[in-house]
Structure 1
Amino acid sequence: MLKVQYDTHKPDKKLNNRLNILASHFRSNFRQTPSFFVRVPGRVNLIGEHIDYCGYSVCPMAIEHDILVAISKSDEDELQLINIDDKYPNYEHKGLRKIKNLRLDENHTGPSWHKYFLCGVKGALEVIPEEHIPKGLLTVVWGNIPPNAGLSSSSALVSAALLATVHICQYKMSKEDMATVSAKAETYIGTQGGGMDQAIAFLGKAGSAKLIKFNPLCAFDVALPKNAVFVIAHSLVDHNKASNSYFNTRVLECRFAAQIIAKKNNIDWCNVPKLIDVQKCLNKTLEEMTAIVMANLKEEHYTLEEICQILETSLDELKVISNVLHYRTQKFKLKQRALHVFQEAARVAMFQEICELEDMDESTQLCQLGNLMTKSHQSLKNLYECSHPRIDTLVTKAIESGAFGARLTGAGWGGFVIAITTAEKVNDFMESLKSAFYYNNEELRNTDFSNTIFKTEPKEGAGIIMSSNNSCDKLKFVYI
């Protein structure tokens, strides 16, 4: 067990008001005051999309939008879970410890909201000794992260559930361990993602983006240009990555690409689950890996039968070695996916380098960062094929409205676009983008823009909020 370092301060007025509403809701349902609150932020990824599960570094930042959880122990052997938003039905589970044995990926039409919370509880209970676990839990959840939009609402909910469970059990874990356990826990829903969302949720820092590296997990501050402002704009197309096979198919395509490159270069493909692994085995640069992809992978689709032939294995063995849990397609694009990953990883490295150049004037910095973001979007659209026509239009309109660059952020197939501008131009930019994309569409004119287009800056990661004297009159924020 590792000790957690605490940094205490008072919540700001806006957060304090939300906590009091949450506490009031908790009291009205359970007739008692919550023991404490948990806050876990959403995130926006500046650059480095669809490469964390391939082992490569990413550059996200935590945002103001978050998931809040109020929690207390219960004398009843059950988990009671309530969401303030009544569009999400309440949930009860008899037998708290039995959650460890739940299957949570059985609904292929898309998981219910409470299953994400159960993922976090399940992940926590798997590492916490039995003697630390209370008989039951009472919980109320409230979030303002736009759902199914690429800002990590689902991962924030999983991470919040895990942090709340860990803390109420008085079990000590490091931030890195909680991020790692949360990432594993979210796979229980059926999504084979990487660890970016959970890492930035726990390791986020106010005033700084983060370069997140994996194996082992670690994070480094990325100081953004002082005048840079990032604007997030919703395409108004929702997409839940656990509701279909698009996301998992991309993960599998990257795995197949790594294994075929390994096989063709006389490397034991069975021990090469990620593209970064084959790069390390070959001892090549990212630029050199692009040439290797061109030489080793074909433009056309691969079938499973072809992949088995190349790897000299059976379909049954392939399913085990390559972790082919479920597949709903018989054709896979490998060359395009691998090219995106290696080139995107190189863009992340360049993004960090530009941010660190002290002798470059800020205007040039912003232009170069924007150019990298736009190239990232073009790759996601053309090579990774995870964009959407409305996202592409929004990116174009953002650049026409004065952004230095713009790209989709999150898994794709819907959700948000992130654009880079300056503090002096941000208000004019946002109004111009509203006119160009939202106001000209009759069905969008009456949109509530508070969670549709907004500027953001790096915010703090997950924290625990304690109340004094068993009341919510005096609160203090305890960052972990």
Structure 2
Amino acid sequence: MSDSTRNVSADAADGFASRYGREPLGLWSAPGRVNLIGEHTDYNDGFVFPLAIDRRTVVALALRDDGVARVASSFSDDTVEVALADLSPAVLSGWSAYPFGVAWALGQHGADLDALPGFDAYFDSDVPVGAGLSSSAAIESAIGMALNDVWNLDFDRRTLARVGQLAENKAVGAPTGIMDQSASLLGERDAAVFLDCRSLDAEVIPLGFEPAGLELVIIDTNVSHSHATGGYAERRASCEAGAAALHVRSLRDLTVDDLERAEAVLDDVTLRRVRHVVTENARVLDAVRTLREDGPRAIGELLDASHVSMRDDFEISVPELDLAVSTAQRNGALGARMTGGGFGGAAIAVVPSHLVAQLSESVRDAFAAAGYTAPDIFSVQPSEGARAEPSA
């Protein structure tokens, strides 16, 4: 688990000075994110509902008087250097592909990299890596904000989200949607981002966790989901096959009323994959409506139903996630579900503040009794998106 008590901005500024021998021009930061509800709906043109969290990646940056870009970080001893004019996905690799990929993607959106000054950048972060909290989008969004400012590009945040997605798709080679970058750039305090993955329309929806005395608890199972590539591809193929068999452009075009027709057309496995996506889209819409009409204490059943659907229909849960969710539900959570791509990673629970300590202890005890690796458990606050930071 990361240390959220340290001053990441100060550490980034100090790291920059130590690595480059001068002071940074400024500091910019972007948060990790967690998806409150809406899983495996993004690549089906559906709806998602992520939020920015109070764990951030900070970049300290200064311009150079040439066309060279250098990046370094607290999580690597290397300083990687490239000429802006030479940037292309083919020459990028390792962690530096994230920030350099954003610089390249800004060029694809109209920035004249041949005429712009180079930069030195240093990254530090307290976003947990491997818990499915999108540390990669935090890097992309922080450097995107920084370069947008120092290069005077005047791109809006939605454009910067597309820049980050392009970098991740082409420079890093990860076929992700735009959810993570949208949450990291558009998030607001005590709010989540309701995103239509077809139109890319985004609306910030107040959550009301603070006045309701609720916390969002992350239970990181420490089960690696790096082996999930085959399962992810298989799920995506099933969704595409289901859409084709039902003669729709994507599963977004189906409603719950179409599931009876789907039963007559699809084999059992494909039917269950389709049913998850269709009902999950409905749950996202219901969650937004419920928050508006009844407040945050009323969304728990939707979170619980989402987990059952991912466990039984989409079959992407693992025993550790199921144990985390069921134990949380028995110990004060209003609702709980696995979050992210599945096959490991983290679960989330919406919990009254006074029950967080009891819930955390119960989950740790349950994991120990089952012989599982101890989970990391911590609360996150829905927080502001990417921003310029005051000098440390």
Question: Which whole-Å deviations, capped at 9, do the CAs of 1:304-338 have from their partners, x for residues lacking one?
Answer: xxxxxxxxxxxxxxxxxxxxxxxxxxxxxx32222
Give the Å deviation of 1:32. 1.3
Q: Would you say the 8 A contact 1:211–1:222 is kept in 2?
A: no
- In structure 2, what is the Cα distance between the partners aligned to 1:43 and 1:68? 15
| Counterpart amino acid of residue 193 in structure 1 | T
Greater CA deviation, 59-68 or 377-386? 377-386
After superposition, the C-alpha distances for 1:339-388 in whole angstroms (9 at most, x for unaligned) are: 11100011111212222224xxx7xx63x522211211121122222222
> Aligned with 2:208: secondary structure?
coil
Alignment match, 2:266: 297
| Alignment correspondent of 2:105 | 123
1:443 deviates by: 5.4
The aligned residue for residue 260 of structure 1 is 245
How many pairs were matched up? 385
- Alignment match, 1:175: 157
- Taking the TM superposition and a 5 Å limit, the aligned residue runs for 1:50-65 are 50-65=40-55
Aligned position for 1:231: 217
Quickly say closer, same or farther: Cα 1:275–1:292, change in 2 above 3 A. same
The answer to whether residue 2 in structure 2 is matched with residue 45 in structure 1 is no
Change (3 A) 1:187 1:253: farther
Aligned mates of 2:89, 2:334 — CA distance in 1 = 49
8 Å CA contact retained: 2:276, 2:314: yes
TM-aligned CA deviation for residue 91 of structure 1: 4.1
- Equivalence for 1:8: none
- The yes-or-no answer on 1:370 pairing with 2:300 is yes
In structure 1, stretches of 5+ residues that fail to align are 1-12, 105-110, 280-285, 301-333, 473-480
Q: Which amino acid aligns with 2:222?
A: L
Whole-Å Cα distance in 2 between the matches of residues 74 and 248 of structure 1? 42
Deviations 1:202-223 (CA, angstroms, capped at 9, x unpaired):
1100022232223142213133
The 5 A counterparts of 1:420-431 are 420-431=350-361
Separation of aligned partners in 2, 1:199 and 1:21 = 26
Larger radius of gyration: 1
Residue deviations 1:365-423 (CA, integer Å, cap 9, x gap): 63x52221121112112222222221122112222323222111111221111012212
TM alignment of 1:294-443, pairs within 5 A: 294-299=263-268, 334-358=270-294, 366=297, 368-438=298-368, 441=371
Amino acid at match of 2:148: V
Q: 1:287 aligns with which of 256, 260, 267?
A: 256
Contact 2:8 2:126 in 1 (8 A): no
Is the partner of 1:464 in helix, strand or coil?
strand
Tell me whether 1:145 sits opposite 2:163 in the alignment: no
Offset at residue 132 of structure 1 (A): 7.6
Specify which of 183, 188, 208 is matched with residue 200 of structure 1.
Answer: 183
Deviation at 1:442, TM superposition (A): 8.1
What's the CA shift for 1:231?
0.9
Q: Is the 8 A contact 1:123 1:182 kept in 2?
A: yes
Structure 2 Cα separation of the partners of residues 422 and 336 of structure 1 = 33
Query: In angstroms, what is the RMSD of aligned CA positions?
Result: 2.6
Seen in structure 2, the aligned counterparts of structure 1 residues 439 and 20 have a Cα distance that, compared at 3 Å, is farther
Q: Provide the rounded CA distance (Å) in 2 between the counterparts of 1:354 and 1:424.
A: 24
1-structure distance, mates of 2:372, 2:108: 50
Distance (Å, rounded) in 2 between the aligned partners of 1:95 and 1:217? 35
Distance 1:344 1:146, change over 3 A: same
Letter in 2 for 1:84: S
Instruction: Answer with 148-157 or 124-133: which moved more.
Output: 124-133
Instruction: Determine the C-alpha separation between the residues in 2 that align with 1:90 and 1:128.
Output: 30
Under a length normalisation based on structure 2, what TM-score does the superposition of the two structures give? 0.89
Is the Cα–Cα contact under 8 Å of residues 318 and 343 in structure 2 kept in the other structure?
A: yes
User: Alignment partner of 1:90: what SS?
Assistant: strand
**How big is the shift at 1:256?**
3.0
Match of 1:154 among 132, 136, 141: 136
Opposite residue 355 of structure 2, the aligned amino acid is: K
Number of the residue aligned with 2:195: 212
Runs of 5+ in structure 2 lacking a partner?
A: none
TM-score by length of 1: 0.74
1:165 and 1:404 map into 2 onto residues whose CA distance is: 41
Tell me which residue corresponds to 1:96.
Answer: 84
Corresponding letter in the other structure for 1:379: S
Equivalent position amino acid for 1:464 in 2: A
Given that 1:211 and 1:220 are in contact with CA atoms closer than 8 Å, whether structure 2 keeps it comes out as yes
Gap change, CA 1:71 and 1:335, over 3 Å in 2: same
1:19 paired with 2:9, answer yes
Structure 1 stretches of at least 4 aligned residues deviating more than 6 Å after TM superposition: none
**Residue in structure 1 matched with residue 206 of structure 2 by the alignment:** 222
